[in-house]
Amino acid sequence: MTAYDAGTSDAANPLKQMARFGQSPWLDFIQRSYTESGRLKKLVEEDGLKGVTSNPSIFQKAMGHGTDYDPQIRQILEHQIVDAGTLYETLAIQDIRAAAKVLHPVYEQTAKVDGYVSLEVSPYLARDTDATIAEARRLWLAVGAPNLMIKIPGTDEGAPAVQAAIAAGINVNVTLLFSLNAYKKVVEAHIAGLEARLSRGESVKGIASVASFFVSRIDVKIDGEIDDRIAAGDRDATALKALRGKVAIANAKLAYEYWQTVVKSPRWQKLAQAGAMPQRLLWASTSTKDKTFSDVLYVDGLIGPETVNTIPPATFDDFRDHGRVIPTLTQDVAGAHAVIGEARRLGLDLDGVTRTLVDEGVRGFEEAFDALLGAIAAKQAAFLDHKLTTTTLNLPADLDTAVKAELETWRTQGNVRRLWSKDATLWTGRDEAGWLKWLSIVDDQLLDLAKFEEFQAEVKARGFRDALLLGMGGSSLGPEVLSVTFGRHEGFPHLYVLDSTDPQQIRDFQDRIDISRTLFIVSSKSGGTLEPNILKAYFFDQAKKVLGDKAGSHFITVTDPGSHMEDVAKKDGFWKIFYGNKQIGGRYSVLSDFGMVPAAIAGLPLKRLLDSALRGEKSCAASVPPAQNPGVVLGSVLGVAARSFGRDKVTLLASPAIYDMGAWLEQLLAESTGKDGRGLIPIDGETAGPASVYGKDRVFIYLRLSEKPCEKQDAAFKTLIAAGEPVVTIELHDRYQIAEEFFRWEFATAVAGSIIGINAFNQPDVEASKIETKKITTAYNETGRLPPYEPFAKDGAFAFYADHKNAAALKGDTAEAILKAHFARGRAGDYVALLAYIDRDTATREWLQQVRLSVRDGLKLATAAEFGPRFQHSTGQAYKGGPDTGVFVQITCDDDVNLPVPGEKYTFSIVKEAQARGDLEVLGERGRRALRVHIHGDLKAGLEKLAQAIRAAV
C-alpha cells in the first residue's frame, strides 16, 4: 500500500500514535491529483495527518512531469500572456490553497497548532534578505489562507527575513537548517519578531512557526566521509564505523535540548504569557537515503513532544506499516552528546558539513526550480504553438557544444535574473543599468494603450493622406519596418520614412506627398541629431508655404523630455509632442513611443502588436531558464559564434514580406556590439548563394514568414544546412510576430553583448564622424566654401579619395587597378562594405545588390550594401569601432538637385558631402581600409561603369 491510497485507520496505526507523544505527522509532498482525488483528505482522516510541506523539488516532481496541470495551463494561456514563473506560481498557489482547505479542519481543531501547508519562497532569493521578505509578504497575500506557512531558508540572510515575516504576522517554516548554530539564530529571529509585535502593541497570538531541521542529509555527508576514511585505511576505522547513521539524529536531539531551554527561559515565558505559540522543531529530510538502515530510521528515532515530522509518502507508508512509536527524542540525550563529541574527536567536520549542506541545499532547490521552470516554459511554448515564433537551430557540433556550455553557465550563474535585475557587471560594469528600461516598456505601453488609440482616432479623423517621418537610425528604422511590412491601412495615412540628406531623395519624398494632407513626424530621441533637425527645417518651411501659420498643426515630434526638439516643437506650435524614455537607447526604442506613435498613425492594430511584443517579453522573462529562453538561446549562438569561432558575420535573410526587419536588426546588432575592436557584423539582405561562396565566418539567420515563404530562400537554406553551416531559422507565423521578435532580438543582443564582453548600450565611435561633419559644415557656413579636398587619382568620371596611408596602398592608374588593389587587401574573414551616398531608390538598391553579390562571389567575402548617411546611424558604429576586418568603398556623386537648409548657408548637398568626408576621415584615422569613389556627371552612367570596374577588380 502506498500513501497514494492511504491505509486503514485504527488505533494501532503508528502514525496516529505519534500524537500520544505530542508529535504531529506532516506530509512532505503535494500534488494536484493527490489532493483532488481525496487521498490527502483520507490521510487526514485515517492517519491523523496534520500538515503538508512542499519545496521546489517536490513541485518539480509534481508539475515538471505528467499531464496533471495541462488543463489549467491551457486555460490560463488562453486568456493571459504570462511568463513561466507566473504560470508556476498560479498552479502552485492553487495547489497550496486546495491542500490548505483540506487541512483547515485540523487547523481549527488544534487551535492553530497544526493544519498548516507550507509554500517556499523562491530559492533564487535565499541570499537576499530584502527580496525574501518581499516575497514572503507577496506569497502570504497571494495565497490568502490562515493556515499557510511561508518557508524561508535559515541562511544568514534568511534569519532576518524570518524575524521580519514573524513581526508581520506571517506564519513561517524555516527551512534548510542543519547546524545548531544556525538554528539558534533562527530561534532568536523568531523571538525577536514576536517581541517586535508586542512592543508595537500587536498580538502575538496565532502566529505559528516551525524550524525545519534536516536530518538524513547530514548522515549522507558524514557517513560518506566515514566511508572514505575507512577505505583509505584510517586507523580509527572501528570507531568511525560505529558512528555511521548516528550523527544526524544526535545532532537533532541536541537541537531539541536547546529548544527545551529556550521555552523555559523568562524571555520566552513573557511571550508565552502574551499568547505566543512556541516555534516547534520539525524534522525534515526524513526519508532514509542509505538503504542499509531502517527505512523509518528518521521517524522512529525522533519522536518527542511538541515536534513535527514531515514525512515523504513512501516513508509515511513504511511507518504506518512497521513504525515503532516510543519517545526516542528525549531518550539517551547523553548518548547524543557522546556521539557528537566522538565525531569531533575523530575529526569529522560537522561544522564544515553543515555549511556545505546549506550551500548544496540552496543550490539543489535552485536546480530543481530551474528544471521546473524549464519544464513549464517548454510546455507553455508547446501549447502556444504558432502563437509564438518557432526557432530551429542547425549548428555544427563544436558550436552546438559551446552554445550548450554557455547556456549552462548562464543558468548556474543566474544570468537571466541578473539581466532583468539590471546588473551592469554582466557587461562592463559601467552605466548599463541606466539603459535597460526597454525590458519593461511593453507593459507600460499596454497600460497606455488608450492614449495611443485615442491619438489613432484623432489622426484618422483629420483625414491625412500621407505621413512623413523624419529621423535617423533608431528613430526611423523601426517605423520603416512597420511601414514596409504592413503597408497602408484603409482610412489612415501612408507612412513614409525619410532618413537621408541626399537632395534627390528628399525631393522624391516631397513629390510623393501632398503637404496639405500630410502629417510630419519629427523623430529624434536626443533632439540634437543633424538630419531630423534640418529635414524638419526644410519641410516646415515647405509646409508654411502651403499651410501658412497652420503648419505646426501638421507636425508632431517624438523626442526625449527636455530635448532641443521639444523646444522647437513648442515654439513652432506642433500638434503633439510624444516623449521617449531616457533609459532606452535609440536602437532599443521601437516598442516605446518611437515605434508606437508611427504605428498608431499608420492605423496598425496596436493591441495586437503589443500583445505579440508581450509574448516576446514573457518568453524571455527572468523566470525562464536559458535553455528555454529564446532570447538567451539566440544571443548565446551569436555571442559564442563570434567570440569563440570567428563567426561574427551575422547573415540576415528574411522572407520578402518582412525583408525590412534586416534594416532594423542591422543597427541593433552592429551599434550594440561593434566596439572595442570586437562585435557582430550584420550582413543584411545578401541573397543566399551556394555554400562555396562563404568563408568560415558566418552565422546565418533565416527569418521565415511561414504564411508567405519564398521557395528559393527555403531551398538555399536547405543547402546551407546540408553543407554544415550554422543556421538559425526563426519562423514567424504571421507578420505581427515581428513585434515578438523585436523584443527577442533586443534581449538576444544584450545577451550576445555580455558574452562578447562589451557595453551593449553605448555607441562610442558614432560621435567621431559627427564631429568631423560638423567641422566641415561649420567651415562652409563661415567661408561659403568646402575645405579643399584633392583626389589621389582620377579615371574618367571617377575621382578617388583616401587618407595618405590608404592612398599609398592603392597605387594604380585605372579605376579597375585601384579597386583591385583595394579589394586585394581583404583576407579570409574580412568583409567588404559598399557605402553609397546616393539617392536610395529601387534602381540604386538593385544596383548595389548586384554589385555586392559580384564582390561576394568574386572575393568570397561577406558584403554589406549600405546607403549614406543612413548607415552612419546604424552599422557605422561597428565599421569604425568593431573588428578591423572591413574593407570600405564609399561611393558619392555629383548632385543634380540641391535643396536649401533654411537658416543655414550650407545645403543638403553640402551636408551629404560633409558626412561622407567626415566618415572617411574617421575610418582612415582608425586605420581602416577605406576608399572613396566619386562619380562625376551622370549618375546612372557612372554607376554602370563603376559596376564594370568592380566586377573586373574582384
Ligand X SMILES: O=P(O)(O)OC[C@H]1O[C@](O)(CO)[C@@H](O)[C@@H]1O
Ligand Y SMILES: O=C[C@H](O)[C@H](O)COP(=O)(O)O
Pairing of strands 681-684, 727-732: unpaired
473 belongs to the binding site for ligand X (CB under 6 A): yes
Position 28 contacts ligand Y (CB under 6 A): yes
Q: Of 53-61, 263-271, 413-421, 825-833, which segment contacts ligand Y by CB under 6 A? A: 53-61
Q: Which is nearer to ligand Y, 364 or 829 (CB)?
A: 364
Is residue 474 at the binding interface for ligand X, with CB under 6 A as the rule?
A: yes
The answer to the question of residue 373 lying near ligand X (CB under 6 A) is: no
Binding span for ligand Y by CB under 6 A among 281-289, 341-349, 548-556, 757-765: 281-289
Span interacting with ligand Y, options 51-59, 450-458, 587-595, 856-864, rule CB under 6 A = 51-59
Confirm or reject binding of residue 31 to ligand Y (CB under 6 A): no
Which one, 586 or 639, has the nearer CB to ligand X? Answer: 586
Q: Which residues are within 8 A (CB) of 78 and not within 5 positions of it... i.e. 6 or more apart?
A: none
State which of residues 472, 641, 658, 943 lies at the interface with ligand X (CB under 6 A): 472
Rule CB under 6 A: is residue 280 a binding residue for ligand Y?
no
Among 52, 152, 164, 284, binds ligand Y (CB under 6 A): 284
* 209-214 and 390-394 strand pairing: unpaired
The answer to whether 151 is a known catalytic residue is yes
Q: How far is the CB of 311 from ligand Y (least distance, A)?
A: 8
Question: Rounded to an integer, what is the distance from CA 496 to the centroid of its chain?
Answer: 32
Which 380-399 residues touch ligand Y, going by CB under 6 A? none
From the list ligand Y, ligand X, none, partner contacted by residue 212 (C-beta under 5 to 8 A by kind):
ligand Y
At residue 112, what are phi and psi to the nearest 5 degrees? 70, 10
Q: In angstroms, rounded to a whole number, what is the distance separating the alpha carbons of residues 578 and 460?
A: 18
592 binds ligand X (CB under 6 A): no
DSSP for residue 91: H
Give the three-state DSSP class for 689: coil
Sheet containing 494-498: give its strands across.
494-498, 466-471, 518-524, 555-559, 576-579
Site membership for ligand Y, residue 24 (CB under 6 A):
no
Cell numbers at 249, concatenated: 539524529
Q: Is residue 873 involved in binding ligand X (CB under 6 A)? A: yes
Which of 212, 483, 672, 885 touches ligand Y (CB under 6 A)?
212
3-state SS, residue 276: strand
Asked if 431 contacts 424 with a C-beta cutoff of 8 angstroms, the reply is yes
Report if residue 636 touches ligand Y, rule: CB under 6 A: no
- Neighbouring C-beta atoms of residue 425, cutoff 10 Å: 11
Question: Burial code of 117-141, b = ≥16 C-beta within 10 A, e = fewer?
Answer: bbbbbbbbbbebbebbbebbeebbe
**Residue 379 binds ligand X (CB under 6 A):** no
Residue of closest CB approach to ligand X: 586
41, 151, 536, 618: the catalytic one is 151
For ligand Y, the closer of residues 17 and 175 by Cβ is: 175
C-alpha cell at 367: 536546480
Residue pair 729/702 in contact by the 8 Å Cβ criterion: yes
User: Which one of ligand X, ligand Y, none is in contact with 912 (Cβ closer than 5 to 8 A by kind)?
Assistant: none
Q: How many CB atoms lie within 10 A of CB 218?
A: 23
Residue 609 interacting partner from ligand X, ligand Y, none (CB closer than 5 to 8 Å by kind): none
331 secondary structure, DSSP code = T
CA distance 852 to 870: 18
Contacting range for ligand X; rule: CB under 6 A; set: 338-346, 454-462, 467-475, 773-781: 467-475
217 binds ligand Y (CB under 6 A): yes
Round to whole Å and give the CA distance between 769 and 911: 12
Is 55 near ligand Y (CB under 6 A)?
Answer: yes
User: Of 525 and 856, which has the nearer Cβ to ligand X?
Assistant: 525
Stretch that binds ligand X, among 22-30, 407-415, 470-478, 698-706 (CB under 6 A): 470-478
The CB-based long-range contact list for 181-184 (8 Å cut-off, 24+ gap) reads 182/154, 182/155, 182/354, 182/358, 183/154, 183/211, 183/213, 183/255, 183/258, 184/258
The values of phi and psi at residue 440, to 5°, are -120, 10
Interaction partner, residue 873 (ligand Y, ligand X, none; CB < 5-8 Å by kind): ligand X
Site string for ligand X, 519-548 (x = CB under 6 A): -----xxx--x--x----------------
Task: Give the whole-angstrom CA distance, residue 15 versus residue 23.
Answer: 9
Considering only residues 55, 380, 475, 759, which one is a binding residue for ligand X as defined by CB under 6 A?
475
Contacting range for ligand Y; rule: CB under 6 A; set: 50-58, 542-550, 726-734, 887-895 = 50-58
Query: Residue 57 or residue 907: which is nearer to ligand Y going by CB?
Result: 57
Cβ atoms of 493 and 601 closer than 8 Å: yes
Q: Which is nearer to ligand Y, 218 or 482 (CB)?
A: 218
Q: According to the binding rule CB under 6 A, does residue 285 interact with ligand Y? A: yes
Which is it for strands 172-177 and 862-867: parallel, antiparallel or unpaired? Answer: unpaired
The HSE-up count of residue 381 (CA atoms within 13 Å, CB side) is: 17
By Cβ distance, which residue is nearest to ligand Y? Answer: 285
- State the cell numbers at 772: 568631423
Task: Report residue 326 as a C-alpha cell.
Answer: 516510543
State the nearest-atom distance from the C-beta of 593 to ligand X, in Å.
Answer: 12
Nearer to ligand X by C-beta: 505 or 874?
874
Stretch that binds ligand Y, among 72-80, 208-216, 443-451, 613-621 (CB under 6 A): 208-216
310 binds ligand Y (CB under 6 A): yes
Q: Does 132 bind ligand X (CB under 6 A)?
A: no
Select the span of 267-275, 284-292, 639-647, 733-741 touching ligand Y (CB under 6 A): 284-292
**Residue 350 or 610 having the CB closest to ligand Y:** 350
- Residue closer to ligand X by CB (options 21, 579) is 579
Q: Which does residue 53 bind out of ligand Y, ligand X, none, counting CB within 5 to 8 angstroms by kind?
A: ligand Y
> Three-state SS for 443?
helix
Q: What share of the chain is helix, strand, coil (3-state, %, to 5)?
A: 55, 15, 30
Does residue 612 touch ligand Y according to CB under 6 A? no
Angle between helices 266-273 and 247-264 (to 10 degrees): 70
| Locus of grid cell 574573414 | 829
* Least distance to ligand X, CB of residue 532, Å: 5
State the Cα–Cα distance between residues 250 and 334, nearest whole angstrom: 9
Where are any strands of DSSP class E within 203-297?
209-214, 280-284
SS3 string, 8-51, reads CCCCCCHHHHHHHHCEEEEECCCCHHHHHCCHHHHHHHHHCCCE
Half-sphere exposure of 265 (CA within 13 A, CB side): 14
517 DSSP assignment: G
Please select the residue that binds ligand Y; options are 129, 287, 288, 581, rule is CB under 6 A: 287
Q: C-beta of 472: minimal distance to ligand X in Å? A: 4
Stretch that binds ligand Y, among 29-37, 214-222, 542-550, 920-928 (CB under 6 A): 214-222
The answer to whether residue 151 forms part of the interface with ligand X (CB under 6 A) is no
Q: Is 309 in the site for ligand Y (CB under 6 A)?
A: no
**Which is closer to ligand X, CB of 282 or CB of 565?**
565
Q: Does 586 bind ligand X (CB under 6 A)?
A: yes
Phi first, then psi, for residue 637 (nearest 5°) are -60, -50
Task: Report if residue 763 touches ligand X, rule: CB under 6 A.
Answer: yes
Closest contact distance (angstroms) between CB of 529 and ligand X is 3
Closest of 246, 214, 239 to residue 347, by C-alpha = 239
Total binding residues toward ligand X, as defined by CB under 6 A:
15
The Cα 916–Cα 868 span in angstroms is: 7
Go through 40-64 and write b for each residue having 16 or more CB atoms within 10 A of its CB, e for each that does not. Answer: bbbbbebbbbbbbbbbbbbbbbbbb
Residues with a known catalytic role = 151
The residues binding ligand X (CB under 6 A) are 472-475, 524-526, 529, 532, 586-587, 671, 763, 766, 873
The residues binding ligand Y (CB under 6 A) are 28, 53, 55, 57, 175, 212, 214, 216-217, 284-285, 287, 310
